[in-house]
Amino acid sequence: MKEKKIILGVSGSIAAYKGAEITRRLKEEGMSVLVIMTKEAEAFITALTLEALSGNKVYKEMFGGREYSDIEHISLADQADLILIAPATANIIAKIAAGICDDLLTATVCATKAKVLIAPAMNENMYLNKITQGNITKLKNLGYKFIAPRRGKLACGKIGEGCLADVETIIKEVKKVL
């Protein structure tokens, strides 16, 4: 059986550090992991950590550091068996819903024919905001899959809905979608 290639999109949430554990667990499941980090994610976790765990280059910039002739967002989109965005901020969800492709992650999502699985992580007020919920509904209607956030202690210190789903839940959903 062909090794499944997962693109893990890590966006700028405090939960970005869980990208390391998600990467490790996907590798344990026999999957190849290519990580795309948004600029904002770099405030929370380093590319070096994700590179070491994935065993692959981490992609960050739309047009940066081109060492070969491939157009990265197209090449990555074509390789993917699945794009998993975990954590997904309200911003990244809104950009995908609006078709905005101003970074490598959103451009890759727009260019792919692979399934896309999104695991939101944000403050409860942001998650329950009517605009965010409308964006999620729009994407679900277009065939995007979501892993609901869990209730727990948020970065602001309050208890609420918006914590990234448990890593094991994310891995289970990835396997189900594949």
- Burial readout 23-59 (b: 16 or more C-beta within 10 A, e: otherwise): bbbbbeeebbbbbbbbebbeebbebeebeebbeeebb
Query: H or E segment at 35?
Result: strand 32-37
Cα angle 160-123-38, degrees, rounded to a multiple of 5: 140
Q: Which residue out of 101, 110, 156, 163 is catalytically annotated?
A: 156
110 catalytic, yes or no?
A: no
Under the phi-then-psi rule, with left for phi > 0, alpha for psi from -120 to 50, and beta for the rest, what region is 2?
beta
Cite the active site residues: 156
